[in-house]
Structure 1
Amino acid sequence: MSSKRSRATPTGMARRSDRPGPHAPTPATAGTIIASVVGNGLEWFDFIGYTLLAGSVARAFFPASGPNTALILTFAAFAVGFAARPVGGVLLGLYADRRGRRRALALMMGMMALGSLLVALTPGYDRLGLAAPILVVVARILQGLSVGAEFAGSATYLVEFAPPGRRMLYGSLQMCAQGVGILAASLVILALETALPADTMAAWGWRLPFAAGAVIGPVGLYMRRHLADSPEFAAARRDGRAERFGLKRLATALRAEFPALLCGLGLVAVGASISYLWQGYLAVYVVRELHLPHRDALVVAASAGILAICLYPVAGWLGDRIGAFRLSISAIAAFAVVTWPLYAWLTTAPTFGRLMMAELTATFFLVFIAGCHPGQLAMLFPVSLRTTGVALAYNTAVLLFGGLAPMTVSWLLATTGAPMVPAFYQIAVALLSLGLLALSGGAIRAANARTAAGSVAAHRPVGR
């Protein structure tokens, strides 16, 4: 009996769609993983850069009657990108489900890099007038369309390549990429603020992280062009399921998968609120409400990124062992309990040490809430709807509870002056998540069965 050797490109990415065995990843598998997650890392590099540099972005593009108004407009532009994400998730998700994960991943990377380049090169309001903020909004929309399917596309790709019993572990590597993006953005901005005078940083230095993101994009695009489609998608395409599914059946399919969408919304909501407030909005909150130096926020964000990178694989491994949904639900409940005392302890006497402990505590809970999200979300949906379903659930939750969070909290803080506003917001989201998950028992059981069956159950027809 003859056997074929797996071929690999010079970059180390597999060209075949053979499912890897339950052993340590080969160099080709490692290359596939890196190419899969690089886009999510770039997404978070750009996100953290935008939020950590929100003050500079506000001064450059959104001059207004007061700093609060400019800041709210800056986060409004930030939220516009999130509003585009569900649209991009559907369009690019359908493209990935019909034409292949590899092609979609390459397209997403190119769009994301173009958006970063536009932010880096657009002149300020003082030179372009109203055209400046409009161009920034266009850049955010372009990135939103791309990012709308980025998490879903790369998470689906990773999970479909995972050996039996390692879906959550492989999916957690997608979350590690977020930690890498957070760490890289924090360190780059910290280095720039250390090396450049304050007036230089305010004038043009803040643009450099966005330019760096635009440079990373072509590298990721090259890597992704050498990927092969996953074994599951290849099988779906051979028997026609990937080709038959399209826009005409989307409404019917989504009605059939509504419990899975509801479950995905509950899973992602609280993790999104933690990420976008504790890791994104942190710099604004630290300076404006806690009156600590901006540098403290950068150091703390970098430390949180390191912790997340180290712990996400642990969460994925644990999810494969004890059950991913059990792990996430327990972590959400625990976070709901500790959030109020954590914020109260921090705001009563804010110091760098307390800020560090509070941020690392929130990150610890985030890791065990969200570490299995890629695997959980992928297993909620059948292969022919997987990228689209994950994109809709993920982006809806991130838009409502993550993307709008900085703007909402900024407005509430400006209106009420109460420093505990973020705690109220996150407790409410955590309770909502628990309620949605309590209503999703059927979807959770189906996802667990699909995971245990090694995707046999994932091949059932859509919309029946």
Structure 2
Amino acid sequence: MTSSTPPPAAAPDDPPTGTTPPRGPSALRQLAAASVGNAVEWFDWYAYSFLAVYFADKVFPASADDSLVPLLSTFAVFAVGFFMRPVGGLLMGAVADRHGRRAALTVTILAMGGGSALVALTPTYAAAGLAAPVVLVLARLVQGLSVGGEFAASTTFLVESAKPGRRGLFSSFQYVSTTAGQLLASGTAALLAALLTEEQMGDWGWRVAFGVGALLSLLGLWIRSGARETRSEKQLQAPRPGLLEALRRHPRPSLLICGITAGGTLAYYTWTTYLPTYAQVNVGFDKGESLTVSTIALAFFAVLQPLGGILSDRVGRKPLLLVFAGGFAVLCVPLLHLLTDSFVSLLLVSCAGMVLLTGYTAIAAAVNAEVFPARVRAAGIGFPYSLTVALFGGTAPYVGTWFKQAGNSGLFPWYVAVLCLLSGLVYLRLPETARRELDT
């Protein structure tokens, strides 16, 4: 009679066969890989916004002999803001679904770092003629593709890296890192402006920030190189999904992503980007003080995100989403009408909006990831999300300015409120996904 020794019993914390959720220090490495890389991505992206004033007239001269220069300038803004991000979401999402999340994260950070290096090396129009704006447009196209793909890849990576009951917490670091990148970019621009003269900033100072961005991308790449792939071997070895499979086979979840995102992205860009300008234009708020308020409010916003994520893991996603949508639908108009030229007024309005906004931003990554199956999750999120951001979030300052020019500035708060209300109707019909098992 042959006896055999039974295999040892699985420890309570052992993952089920075929899955690879991180444990112990690995979870921190996963979180750092997504968060640090995402912060670097957004540092590079926002650095352009903060420093463009120093190099715009050198690359896109106002009085150029070649009539193509103003056209190229307009094309750069349009292409990056409204075209390349959805394309990046689709293409990099497909890379993440076909070759793994880590592969896509590597591509996005390399693209952003390469784009930053290209901006840093962009020649002036005086030195290279038409080649100068061409190089800058190319760099921004690459960066736009990278930013669009980063959300798709890092969202899926973050949520799939989390242990059960922690997906909301991990999800919150999407906007923690985005805000950190924005604050780091503004701080770097402010430091350079303080240390250098106006002439030095225009000659070479602005290039330093993009050089720093390229180097930080290498740091992010190193951290991501040690991350663990979140898709199972079975999923990776399965037939690869087609580029448009998520849209073709899962139209309802794709539309859900649009509905989930529309109100949230409009409120986000209104409160984090446009609000200082809105206060300057409508109540005569001091420009310098508005930037100070914005910095304080953004820091406060970053601190709130993990708290919102933890709360969603305990009470569910829908309550937070409904508080966000209902809060903005009811309070957006009164809050914006409360603005005065007082520092305290803008700070309180900013922080109040940040509290409500956390109900969406802290869990957007988790909600989006929980809507799609793993096979097409990244591409399924990437394209509709980026397209909706381009249509509603990226245009928020332009819509607000248009209302002001038309003499109807009071309509903009209603625009935000109505869109949040419409997203709230979508949230009402969403199933609660916080405690569902997530396939990888």
**Band the TM-score falls in, shorter-chain normalisation:** 0.7 to 0.9
Paired with 1:115 and 1:227, the residues of 2 have a C-alpha distance of 23
Letter matched to residue 392 of structure 1? F
Paired with 1:323 and 1:380, the residues of 2 have a C-alpha distance of 14
Is structure 2 residue 389 aligned with structure 1 residue 406?
A: no
Change beyond 3 A, Cα 1:204–1:296: farther
What residue number does 1:182 align with? 182
What residue number does 1:369 align with? 360
Contact 2:89 2:151 in 1 (8 A): no
Letter matched to residue 274 of structure 1? A
Is structure 2 residue 437 aligned with structure 1 residue 454?
A: yes
Contact 2:116 2:211 in 1 (8 A): yes
Letter matched to residue 77 of structure 1? A
Query: TM-score by structure 2 length?
Result: 0.85
Change beyond 3 A, Cα 1:201–1:102: same
> Across the two proteins, how many residue pairs are aligned to each other?
422
Q: CA deviation at 1:202?
A: 4.7
Task: Describe the superposition over 1:70-127 as per-residue Cα deviations: whole angstroms up to 9, x where unpaired.
Answer: 9999787344223112222222211111111111111110001111222233234454
Task: Describe the superposition over 1:419-439 as per-residue Cα deviations: whole angstroms up to 9, x where unpaired.
Answer: 54642442343233234445x
Letter matched to residue 31 of structure 2? I
Contact 2:268 2:393 in 1 (8 A): yes
Q: How does 1:255-334 map to 2 (within 5 A)?
A: 255-282=248-275, 284-285=277-278, 291-334=284-327
Paired with 2:412 and 2:208, the residues of 1 have a C-alpha distance of 30
Contact 1:116 1:211 in 2 (8 A): yes
Contact 1:182 1:301 in 2 (8 A): no
Paired with 2:335 and 2:207, the residues of 1 have a C-alpha distance of 34
What residue number does 2:341 align with? 350
Change beyond 3 A, Cα 1:74–1:418: farther
Contact 1:45 1:182 in 2 (8 A): yes
Contact 2:399 2:412 in 1 (8 A): no
Change beyond 3 A, Cα 1:52–1:212: same
Change beyond 3 A, Cα 1:30–1:172: same
What residue number does 2:413 align with? 423
* Match for residue 333 of structure 2 among 337, 340, 350: 340
Contact 1:54 1:71 in 2 (8 A): no
Task: Describe the superposition over 1:212-247 as per-residue Cα deviations: whole angstroms up to 9, x where unpaired.
Answer: 2222111111221222211x4334225x2xx34223
SS of residue paired to 2:191: helix
What residue number does 2:241 align with? 245
Q: CA deviation at 1:264?
A: 1.3
Change beyond 3 A, Cα 1:312–1:399: same
What residue number does 2:227 align with? 227
Q: CA deviation at 1:324?
A: 0.8
Contact 1:187 1:302 in 2 (8 A): no
What residue number does 2:26 align with? 28
What residue number does 2:15 align with? none
Query: TM-score by structure 1 length?
Result: 0.81
Paired with 1:328 and 1:39, the residues of 2 have a C-alpha distance of 27
Task: Describe the superposition over 1:32-57 as per-residue Cα deviations: whole angstroms up to 9, x where unpaired.
Answer: 21111223212322343333445445
What residue number does 1:13 align with? none
Change beyond 3 A, Cα 1:396–1:51: same
Give 5+ residue unaligned stretches, structure 1.
5-15, 460-464
Change beyond 3 A, Cα 1:422–1:110: farther
SS of residue paired to 1:452: coil
Letter matched to residue 345 of structure 1? L
Letter matched to residue 211 of structure 2? A
Contact 2:106 2:224 in 1 (8 A): yes
Identical counterparts, % of pairs: 35
Change beyond 3 A, Cα 1:99–1:198: same
Paired with 2:26 and 2:106, the residues of 1 have a C-alpha distance of 18
SS of residue paired to 2:419: helix
Paired with 1:311 and 1:382, the residues of 2 have a C-alpha distance of 29
Paired with 1:176 and 1:71, the residues of 2 have a C-alpha distance of 36
